[in-house]
Structure 1
Amino acid sequence: MSVTAQPRQPGGRRRRTTRLLAVAAGAVTVGALAAAALPASAHTGGPGKGDHRPGGHQQSRYQDVQLLSFNDLHGNLEPPAGSSGRVTEVQADGSTKTVDAGGVEYLATHLRQARKGNPYSITAAGGDMVGASPLISGLFHDEPTIEALNKLDLDVTSVGNHEFDEGAQELARLQNGGCHPTEGCYSDKKFKGADFPYLAANVLKEKTGKPVLAPYWVWKKNGVKVGFIGVTLEGTPDVVSAEGVKGLKFKDEVETINKYAKVLQQQGVKSIVALVHEGGFPASSSYNYDCDAAGAGSGISGPIVDIAKNVTPQVDALVTGHTHNAYVCTIPDPAGKPRMVTSAASFGRLYTDTTLTYDRRTGDIARTSVESANHVVTRDVPKAADLTALVGKWNALAAPIGNRAVGHISGDIGSTGTESPLGDLIADAQLAYGRELDAETDLALMNPGGIRAPLTYAASGAEGDGVVTYAEAFAVQPFANTVNLQDLTGAQVLQVLKEQVSGANEAAPKILQISSGLTYTLDLTQSGADRVVTDSVRLNGAPLDPAATYRVASNSFLAGGGDGFTTLGQGTGDVVGADDLTALEQYLTAHSSATAPYAPPAADRVTIVR
């Protein structure tokens, strides 16, 4: 694969001279960037004499390179609603406050302001730019988000697991352009695709063993070279439908990054950043807490820690994602040297500004000079006019579908917590729909990761307070999973509950949202499967009978064993119904009205012992 481009001029758009190809060839030729005739920065932070350029102009040995990054945008072009559109900020006195954040009109302004005075500036992302998107993007197979990212001057991103929601062919279309294969073009202009490369170093075609997209990319300017390697989590097949990853293999993140770091080194690229769609769990929910207060790596846990500790020291920084958390931490590399690892939460609420000090003599990053911080995408700045126009264009196309009222609520129905009110509502909706398919349906289970946004009472558009529109319901459940029925024994149902906190989910539990009538106790003072108190499980007040057969409703992703719930993949007597959004819509319509709105559930079905 060959890419030729010119770096972005200060205050302007970069120009692409060739289109990016979707499928990487066996031997990938790194994108050559035509050097812009701009003077080097006057930075002189490092020791030694500066090099000399032709014509008598002195060039500093040390050059600051700005790396702006974000992750997990998920097509959130408009400011996210409710808690999904806020971040927590630590104050000087130790208290915290919440700040409204997000929206690409504001993100564009913040990024453009951050780039001012930084001619050596790169913008990168850590995956999940698309997928699980609100209606404005999801209805159009995320073409609007790719157009927005082009306007944001994104230079490069890794793939995330959600980039495979619609399969590798659709991802290739987002990269290369072209109208949707079944729906055609959404306007009189053909979709042009991404101006930036998607990197997928550890995603291989089963038939050829070659990466499905380019594994790496190099940014160049005036002799400065920074390489980027992009990977998604090896466990992507566990969190994406089988159809989405059909024909693909996902390799180990560390092994892959180390492999391509050697390739880049052999090509003379010694400054390397890994874009890793896998993340961690910070000790604080505040975006600006001091992750290293008790020492390097002390303020974060989770999969990214082991990855960072084992990725070759040839990699100078890791931009991460997937867990939707915010952190700027140093984690020791295999040589024991601190290395920056960052994540900018999700939904465009934050961006990370990292300074990489490039040594022109060695071609490497002086890691002792790396500085980084997360910044809030506040909504108190002017909106970027070009992004406002883009959002308006796609909203106008979506409005006839999105503005239709589907229900009424009496207050915010939140989506956070071990058991959430919105989780209870969705599970009840799927139980009710399941009973339409089979009157003997006993219970419903919903995966928390399938709930993408809260329902908010305050009007976000032309509708009145408390009105739930189709667009708002779509934002909650955008995956188009079907509601499936299957038979499980009581012993299997109990095993499913234990799989919430054991096996693949032991380190990061995935607590299922359960329908009315099912109750149990979760003892968090225990470990593994013992956290589910077996004799506390009740269905309609009666103990769960291990030998009895129960009819269970769940979405198709769960019914296939997704999210580590392998026992759900062993059910029998399968019946496939309509999509889960239809179930939610029907339930809200049947159980609410303007004069009798639906009240937020109490979220009291799971008793928590801490």
Structure 2
Amino acid sequence: MNWKHLARGRYLLLILSLTLLLSSCQKKTVNLEFIETSDVHGSLFPWNFMTDTTANHSLASVYSYVKAERAKPDQDVILLDNGDILQGEPDVYFSNFLQPDSTNIVARVYNFMKYDAATVGNHDIEAGHHVYDKVRSEMHMPWLAANAVRTDDGKPYFKPYTIIEKEGVKIAVLGMITPHIPYWLPEKIWKGMEFEDMIETARKWVKIIQEKEHPDVLIGLFHSGVDYTYGGTSAKTYKNENASALVAEQVPGFDIVFAGHDHREWNKWVTNTAGKKVLVMGPQAHAREFPVAKMKLTYDSSDKTWKKEITSEVKHSKNYQPDPEYMAHFKPFVNEVKKWVNQPVAKLTAEIDTRDAFFGSSSFMGLIHKVQLAQSGADISLSAPTIFDTQLKKGELYVRDMFRLYKYENLLYTMKLSGKEIKGYLEYSYAGWFNTMKSPDDHLINFRKDKEGHLMENKGRGTYSLAKPYFNFDSAGGIKYTVDVRKPAGHRVHIISMSDGTPFRENHIYKVAINSYRGNGGGGHLEEGAGIPHDELNARRISTTEKDLRFYMMKWLEKQGTYTPVNPENWKVIPQAWEKKARATDEPMMFGKGNGE
């Protein structure tokens, strides 16, 4: 036996063992990149199906960025969507309702882009059980909503969370949806579900996830906004509509919370009750922006923990070209939708401009009220403009234009309201809509103000923010009335008569045509304005349509063949001279100097 060689072998073995031991104690680094899309609202392709023009924002451009980042060898990408994708553009409407037997385009896009997880949004629920249940079954990834629970057993209707593993790092993603759905949507659309408070749900599921999964990273994917004071609520409001930041602050454990729903860009840090920093991010809408959070994890085996460094940026899809592979794959579907939206509906004998609807009676709102009254057989119609700034030219009206006349898939309700309740409803609407004018030089529109009382400008747009969302600016059809903006909120509306000249009586019960969003309590008009308790709203409903109002509007126009837009001139702002002068100032502040779209 050669003892010298044996000793040398043992020495080399010892060196090797020490090397392995030292290497095991060295730090391992993993780079993760989280990419969020949210509130895409059907902007799947770089084409505006409503205007028949190209668009510089869509998931096709987001996918170009995703592909490039996935190709980098030193990082792993986690792609997440935060809901509200099944509504908003003709392409998803076409897939939802005109191709019910084909794989939904949203599921096809999710699968093609290889999303890791997504959360359900309120507008996804709006499509109805037959749509979102089908889409869920077609997805190759989990659709999350921990706080949407079954009414029969209290278990989540959707998957509450998912686990993603990258390079030995265990990532938990908890999904939640805004709990306000019962205030906006008809019960049949979400039948079998209840929507629980987000903070309570987060506390429950974070504990379960930590005890069962022991994740290295915890992500919140919440279809809910960040400003918890929206609509006059507070941090203590139960089932707050916009509780994303509240969860980040009050429920320890999250590293990043991705928000959505409010269409506002967020990229900020908050501190939770354990003293830890939590990143809160969210985009605006229509795939224009997408938040990106890069996390560098360094593992130290000495204490068996991951040290995390996080950087963040909100990127803009206009800076990336649509991915050619994506475009080629979905080209046949895009062509089908283009063919459908370019079908003629009727002829307009004059232009319709939505801007007119914000300053008095208009031909735009006149059309909506006329269709609501014709479809429902009601005495009075209540509605707001669902499109902010668009013009429909004289001439051929196409299917695509119907989405510019009415944005949402609201059903049409017929409800019982007293004359007094109708007046209270309108007072509430105009309180949020108009300013109290002290002179002709004041603003007519109620613009948003900061703490010092200065009007809040939309940076880079040359416009100013409204104090209340424009889709809450309800006017009435079927009655004649004035709105005196010299008087304080709550004392402005004077109802003169019914449109046919017969008396309007406050103690009379009227049949009222109203969309399902408002009829379920959305905006607060019926509860805070008319004073009807939320649990009484269902009892006030006489009937509901089976399909969305846009469908009936299209059928009504098809029957007309040729339509002449008419301003019913059934209501006006007084003093009229004050309104005229204020409009000259306020209109460019609302819309900018451009014209439309």
TM-score, scaled relative to structure 1: 0.67
CA contact (8 A) 2:50 2:403 kept: no
Stretches of structure 2 lacking an aligned partner (at least 5 in a row):
1-18, 230-239, 433-466, 587-597
Q: What is the SS of the residue equivalent to 2:188?
A: coil
Query: How far is the alpha carbon of 1:370 from its aligned partner?
Result: 2.1
Asked if residue 103 in structure 1 is aligned to residue 58 in structure 2, the reply is: yes
CA contact (8 A) 2:29 2:296 kept: yes
Asked if residue 258 in structure 1 is aligned to residue 180 in structure 2, the reply is: no
Identify the residue that residue 33 of structure 1 maps to in structure 2.
Answer: none
Asked if residue 234 in structure 1 is aligned to residue 190 in structure 2, the reply is: no
Query: How far is the alpha carbon of 1:585 from its aligned partner?
Result: 2.6
Identify the residue that residue 76 of structure 1 maps to in structure 2.
Answer: 43
Q: What is the SS of the residue equivalent to 2:472?
A: coil
CA contact (8 A) 2:283 2:291 kept: yes
468, 477, 485: which one pairs with 2:397? 468
Asked if residue 490 in structure 1 is aligned to residue 419 in structure 2, the reply is: yes
Q: Deviations over 1:532-564 (max 9, x none)?
A: 435455667999642244442223443454554
513, 516, 519: which one pairs with 2:474? 513
Q: What is the SS of the residue equivalent to 2:371?
A: helix
Identify the residue that residue 248 of structure 1 maps to in structure 2.
Answer: 193
Question: 1:262, 1:572 → 2: CA distance?
Answer: 42
514, 519, 522: which one pairs with 1:554? 514
Q: Deviations over 1:414-458 (max 9, x none)?
A: 58x9x659996664234323443577x44322256xx37865559
Q: What is the SS of the residue equivalent to 1:127?
A: coil
Distance 1:302 1:251, change over 3 A: closer
Q: Deviations over 1:118-144 (max 9, x none)?
A: 531111121122234424444335811
Amino acid at match of 1:252: D
Q: What is the SS of the residue equivalent to 1:218?
A: strand
Mark the structure with the bigger radius of gyration: 2
Asked if residue 165 in structure 1 is aligned to residue 126 in structure 2, the reply is: yes
Moved more, 419-428 or 600-609: 600-609
CA contact (8 A) 2:199 2:243 kept: no
Asked if residue 276 in structure 1 is aligned to residue 222 in structure 2, the reply is: yes
Q: What is the SS of the residue equivalent to 1:394?
A: helix
Distance 1:167 1:282, change over 3 A: closer
Identify the residue that residue 122 of structure 1 maps to in structure 2.
Answer: 78
Question: 2:405, 2:329 → 1: CA distance?
Answer: 23
351, 375, 380: which one pairs with 2:315? 375
43, 67, 76: which one pairs with 1:112? 67
Question: 2:559, 2:20 → 1: CA distance?
Answer: 74
Query: How far is the alpha carbon of 1:482 from its aligned partner?
Result: 4.2
Amino acid at match of 1:103: S
Query: How far is the alpha carbon of 1:589 from its aligned partner?
Result: 5.8
Question: 1:85, 1:341 → 2: CA distance?
Answer: 36
Query: How far is the alpha carbon of 1:479 from its aligned partner?
Result: 5.5
> Which of the two has greater helix per residue?
2
Identify the residue that residue 355 of structure 1 maps to in structure 2.
Answer: 294
Query: How far is the alpha carbon of 1:80 from its aligned partner?
Result: 6.5
Query: How far is the alpha carbon of 1:169 from its aligned partner?
Result: 5.9
Distance 1:606 1:109, change over 3 A: farther
The alignment of Structure 1 onto Structure 2 pairs a total of residues equal to: 493
Question: 1:60, 1:455 → 2: CA distance?
Answer: 57
Q: What is the SS of the residue equivalent to 1:303?
A: coil
Question: 1:490, 1:83 → 2: CA distance?
Answer: 38
Question: 1:306, 1:423 → 2: CA distance?
Answer: 40
Asked if residue 148 in structure 1 is aligned to residue 109 in structure 2, the reply is: yes
Identify the residue that residue 533 of structure 1 maps to in structure 2.
Answer: 491
Stretches of structure 1 lacking an aligned partner (at least 5 in a row):
1-51, 87-98, 177-192, 284-300, 459-464
Amino acid at match of 1:210: K
Question: 1:591, 1:365 → 2: CA distance?
Answer: 67
Amino acid at match of 1:149: Y
Distance 1:328 1:377, change over 3 A: same
CA contact (8 A) 2:364 2:565 kept: no
Identify the residue that residue 370 of structure 2 maps to in structure 1.
Answer: 432
Query: How far is the alpha carbon of 1:211 from its aligned partner?
Result: 0.9
CA contact (8 A) 2:36 2:290 kept: yes
Distance 1:538 1:54, change over 3 A: farther
Distance 1:414 1:114, change over 3 A: farther
Distance 1:395 1:202, change over 3 A: same
CA contact (8 A) 1:271 1:364 kept: no
CA contact (8 A) 2:165 2:171 kept: yes
Amino acid at match of 1:558: R
Identify the residue that residue 554 of structure 2 maps to in structure 1.
Answer: 585
CA contact (8 A) 1:264 1:270 kept: no
Amino acid at match of 2:82: G
282, 295, 302: which one pairs with 1:343? 282
Q: Percent identity?
A: 18
Distance 1:160 1:573, change over 3 A: closer
Question: 1:145, 1:133 → 2: CA distance?
Answer: 12
Moved more, 318-327 or 57-66: 57-66
Query: How far is the alpha carbon of 1:356 from its aligned partner?
Result: 2.1
Amino acid at match of 1:175: R
Distance 1:578 1:156, change over 3 A: closer
Question: 1:386, 1:499 → 2: CA distance?
Answer: 51
CA contact (8 A) 1:412 1:454 kept: no
Q: What is the SS of the residue equivalent to 2:153?
A: coil
